[in-house]
Structure 1
Amino acid sequence: MSALPKFEWYQTEKQVVISINKPDTNVCDTKFEYSGHNKLIVIANNKIIFDLTLANGIDDQKTTLTCTRKKVEVKCQKIVIMPWKKLAADTVGKEEQILQFTPLSSNVPVKKDSKNWTKIEKDAVAEEDKDLEGSEAALNKFFQSMYGGSDENTKRAMMKSYTESNGTCLSMNWDEVKKGKVECSPPDDMEFKKY
């Protein structure tokens, strides 16, 4: 075959797609052949309609052929994933030269000043908990020493005043507490609500 029919081609990262303008071609009567020298031949109705030596190699096992009313489309899977500069080879058997990338240095600079924000957050929360535990521990220690070093009447006064006032009052005077119920006395800016 001397002259190629009118065709267009484009490429994606992994494929080269060739659209051959050949109206009224039946997909059942159309096939393609690919030789080891990058020669792609499309045959329709037992006639060669497209014969071209490609610039690079394709995987013929993953190449597909579709026919529409106006064209035949061949989707060729690239062997090497790289952009093709052109579709057709200059001479038979000569593939486009593939440039190899070689790194200049194997030493990659590492940023040493990076902060581990998760660790910083955990440390801050742990420090806050430690401060809170320290204040609660000191308060608990104070109440334990006050309660532990008291006589029976003082202990009785503390328990009765604390429970009857819903934790708002703590009295150590049994003579005052034994006379009646200890009223709830919330802080000035709050009011007591019974649930």
Structure 2
Amino acid sequence: GEDEQESIETYQKGASLTDEATADFLDELDKLDKPITVVFYGDHLPGIYSSASKDDGNSLALHLTDYFIWSNKASGSQGNKVDNSDYSSPNFFVAQAAEHMDAKVSPYLAFLTEMHKKISAMEPPVVNNIQGWDRIPEGQNIYLNAKGKAMSEKNFDAETKQLLADYKLIQYDITTGKNYLKNTDFMDLPSK
């Protein structure tokens, strides 16, 4: 309706202003003599698309937002392209930024880089529960391939299943488990 149209126009204006401010911000960062890398992303689109959200087929599209990883001239990695970057999720951003910067990584970031090759983006089921969605079965994760198409866990190859199982164990250990990884070098960056 009319309210929806007005909300969309307001959002578009805000997005345009954000684009301008972001460009100015990056221009200022580019003038600095120290290396800087920025990861910029939006969590999801605003809940103003009531017409689109009525169609279950739009669930995924309403959660896709642009992101970028950018480095200034002083970094030496400005313009570097990261493989498999069309689709991603925040859990992979640090690993992608490290790849972008050609940085040495911890075993954990190396693990995330390998996992990202198999699963481009993922969203945990808690998001579906919070939003009260019934279009995605409760407790089901969302996984996307490099082309942005939904993937089913039951169709994963053995390597992807193992990576996902390991990821779940890592997440459990560092959040509610016994922190076995804490006393290892798994999260440590290599020394120079």
| Same structural fold, with TM-score higher than 0.5 when normalized by the shorter chain | no
Give TM-score scaled by structure 1 length. Answer: 0.25
Give TM-score scaled by structure 2 length. Answer: 0.25
Q: Which gives a bigger RCO, structure 1 or 2 (Cα 8 Å, sep 6+)?
A: 2
Larger Rg: 1
